[in-house]
Amino acid sequence: MTASSWRAARQGAGLTVLFGLLLAGGSAAGAWGGALAPPPVRPESVDAVPAALSPAQAEHLVASGADRWAAYYSAQDYADFARGLDGEYLGVGLVLDRAQDGGTVIAEVPAGSPADRAGVAAGDRLLAVDGTAVDRLPVTEVVARLRGRGEQGAPARPGSTVQLTVQRPGAAARRLTVRRAVLAAQDVETDRPAAGVLRISVHAFTSGVGEQVRDALRGSNGYRGVLLDLRGNSGGLLDEAAASASAFLDGGPVASYQVGDGRRELTAAPGGDTRTPLVVLVDGGTMSAAELLAGALQDRCRAVLVGTRTFGKGTVQEPSRLADGSVLERTVGRYFTPAGRSPDGTGLLPDVPATDPAGAERLALQVLDGLGPGATGGR
């Protein structure tokens, strides 16, 4: 792994539980009573305590490994991240997958995206990005190049161009020049995996996801059960995870977190659906805020967890602005489930183990079949 890709991977992992910590006296005392969760951090609200640190010192602190989840961002990188928290990203609109022969296949092209307008379709092969063959590159690096995050050069901007070499099965390869745009991420998706079953797949906890989960759940009385799929969800904003928990709970604790000598509580809003049988799918890619949600539903006896042990990230990071506008993110505490468990380092164990992804879905549906109305009603 190159130095830059290692740094990008570390940053990506460190982003998963980022939110505002209202630590100043008056704000902390008045803002938490009855609040569902702290507001998400925005670049203009980042704490400026370590402004005396130079970027080199901050990067050295991160590279030392003393704080596993510490991360350093340039001002532009952090601004891009904040845009990501708002459920947006800069790109051309390609969802990629790895084919069995090792090639890079285009799995989905959102309607109206730049790639869609250029004539790219699901099932096409992506052969190269800006002249660089992609078949031997990790999908994550291919995505980085599409978004303008390659090994060299400044970050891309909306309207910048990227050259794609694509090939439709049975046709010749063709080169397309596509302009990047700010696109809306699809972090909540629904489908019907079986008769009478609603599946809500949550890919990340960005701004507005809690409301999207509640919207998806409205009218679930017509379903015999709900699958909440958190597999591969690397986390996001804790307030959105707590808001998502509110869709399935009628008030009560969701989590608590420890910062220094202080302890804060996250609670669910009243009025959630506590009767529709619920199964949560988890795996080793279920991290941080996603683990918080899964742990809350498990501890509150609201859901049965099916899958494999979760990742095990139960820490809280706080961002701090440096003098040049860059940002250092440091671990400041841990969070705990309603029963007082910390998933940090250990993860959460599912109630029903299932290692094979397809088998996990079949088993989840079988579990739903065995759950009558109100069987996971929570407490």
**188 with 212: CB under 8 angstroms?**
yes
pLDDT at residue 50, rounded to an integer: 56
- Pairing mode of beta strands 125-129, 161-167: antiparallel
Helix axes 209-217 and 238-246, enclosed angle (nearest 10): 20
CB 37 within 8 A of CB 243: yes
109/93 Cα distance (integer angstroms): 6
48-51, long-range: CB < 8 A, 24+ apart: 48/320, 48/321, 49/320, 50/320, 50/322, 50/328, 51/321, 51/322, 51/323
Is residue 310 within 8 A of residue 39, CB to CB? The reply is: no
- The span from the CA of 210 to the CA of 130, in Å, is 37
Residues 259 and 316 sit within 8 Å (Cβ to Cβ): yes
- What is residue 4's predicted lDDT score, i.e. its pLDDT? 36
| pLDDT value of residue 332 | 86
Digitized pLDDT (tens) for each residue of the chain, 379 residues in all: 333 333 333 343 333 333 222 222 222 222 212 222 233 333 333 443 455 788 888 888 889 988 988 888 888 778 777 777 777 778 899 888 878 788 899 988 988 999 999 999 999 999 999 999 998 887 767 887 888 865 444 567 889 999 999 999 999 999 999 999 988 778 899 999 999 999 999 998 988 999 999 999 986 667 899 999 999 898 888 899 999 999 999 999 999 987 767 788 999 999 999 999 999 999 999 999 999 999 999 999 999 999 999 999 998 888 888 988 899 988 888 899 999 999 999 999 999 999 888 889 999 999 999 987 656 666 6
Domains by residue range for the chain, with CATH: 3-89 (no CATH), 91-184 (2.30.42.10), 188-315+334-370 (3.90.226.10)
> What is residue 305's DSSP assignment?
E
The gap between the terminal CA atoms of the chain, to the nearest Å, is 47
pLDDT, residue 291, reads: 97
- For the chain, how big is the Rg over CA atoms in Å? 21
The runs of H, that is alpha helices, within 71-151 are 75-85, 114-117, 139-146
Beta strand residue intervals within 79-137, DSSP E: 88-91, 95-98, 104-108, 125-129, 132-133
pLDDT at 375: 62
Q: What is the pLDDT of residue 249?
A: 97
DSSP string, 231-251: TT---B-HHHHHHHHHTT-SS
CA distance 109 to 98: 15
Q: Which residues are catalytic?
A: 288, 313
DSSP string, 133-178: E-TTS-HHHHHHHHTT-SSSSSPP-TT-EEEEEEE-TTS--EEEEE
DSSP for residue 370: H
Locus of tokens 């980022």:
18
Beta carbons within 10 angstroms of residue 293's beta carbon: 33
Q: Can you give the pLDDT at residue 174?
A: 96
**Packing angle, helices 139-146 and 3-14, rounded to 10:** 90
The number of helix segments (H) and strand segments (E) in the chain equals: 10, 19
Query: Could you give the CA distance from residue 277 to residue 190 in angstroms, rounded to a whole number?
Result: 17
User: What pLDDT score does 35 carry?
Assistant: 22
Q: Are 317 and 344 in contact (CB under 8 A)?
A: no
Q: 3-state DSSP call for residue 312?
A: coil
Q: How far is Cα 97 from Cα 186, in angstroms, rounded to an integer?
A: 16
